[in-house]
Structure 1
């Protein structure tokens, strides 16, 4: 017998879906698997999320909110823009091990068609991230701040791509020092 839904059914469904999507990938998880995980009826799931695409988009939107909180936290913990860039890399370095990588990147890979809503959400997110990192880099003394922002993004991408393989120690732990080195280099280069 299915359990009665609580008033927070929307969030509970999204939590369960996110956990399954993060573990197995979006395509590998069916709506029935989410229903079974929760013990809710199919009708409730489809009342909250009319389709799997709508559920996937909500999941990705939640991931983008997590990124925004990471940036806010970096700003709170650090003083200078240079320190904030390092703190963002440190936050990702702490999260990446033990995951299958970046949820948005993984989902983007699963939905390559540019018209799919999941594809559009992930592409828009990465455009925004790039601009956020570039905007932060523009507050530094870097001669080419857009290049600095892009380099920090590449370090972050590398962490997500390799974090699950490398773990919290080893090469993944070097990412923070690498970010510092890149920032130090970029802010010491003068335009000639």
Structure 2
């Protein structure tokens, strides 16, 4: 690992923890620098702006989300259970002590109106989830209309769990998804 890669990873780790727990606007570059243990010069050599850190952090979160979801879904063989595994993944995530909602929704709420690049990346992430739900629905033999219904259940569960501080939103979304899947496959 090069010094530049190490500094980049440390900055992203620090920024992710700070932004996710306190918000994007509330955290300044000095705080990121201090938490990462790098000089301001090194910070700006790796990331020329706060927006570049946010974009890199969101790209990394997208990769983590995708690989985590793929692992849970991929562990199931039955198409119906592969769809429902999405909500099991959410349930485990919501139960994590550090859960503060969807980082993409949080970023859009704070930065979506002022950063076209952040908005575009968030829209791409959300579209990839829609595409994954469409793939899972198609594999199960369900009509295409099921995918956006399932995705909205997952998105709503994320928001509800974050605002209410109640991880049971995943279970409620899973129960609703079961009804929708069973009706679509009947």
TM-score, scaled relative to structure 2: 0.88
Change beyond 3 A, Cα 1:64–1:7: closer
Judge conservation of contact 1:148–1:186 (CA < 8 Å) in 2: yes
User: How many residues end up aligned between the 2 structures?
Assistant: 181
Q: What pairs up with 1:39-188 in 2 under 5 angstroms?
A: 39-97=37-95, 98=97, 99-113=99-113, 116-142=116-142, 144=143, 146-164=144-162, 165-169=164-168, 171-188=169-186
1:13: Cα distance to partner? 0.8
1:35: Cα distance to partner? 1.1
Deviations 1:51-82 (A, max 9, x none): 11111100110111012113321332101222
Query: Larger C-alpha radius of gyration, 1 or 2?
Result: 1
Change beyond 3 A, Cα 1:114–1:132: farther
Change beyond 3 A, Cα 1:74–1:161: same
Judge conservation of contact 1:89–1:152 (CA < 8 Å) in 2: no
1:115: Cα distance to partner? 5.7
What is the RMSD of the two structures over their aligned residues, measured on CA atoms?
1.9
Judge conservation of contact 1:133–1:150 (CA < 8 Å) in 2: yes
Who is 1:30 aligned against? Answer: 28
2-side partners of 1:103 and 1:94: how far apart?
Answer: 16
Judge conservation of contact 1:26–1:110 (CA < 8 Å) in 2: yes
Residue 145 of structure 2 aligns to a residue in which SS? helix
2-side partners of 1:27 and 1:131: how far apart?
Answer: 31
Residue 38 of structure 2 aligns to a residue in which SS? coil
Judge conservation of contact 2:154–2:170 (CA < 8 Å) in 1: no
Note the residue ranges of structure 1 that are not aligned, 5 or more in a row.
Answer: none
TM-score, scaled relative to structure 1: 0.86
2-side partners of 1:7 and 1:121: how far apart?
Answer: 22
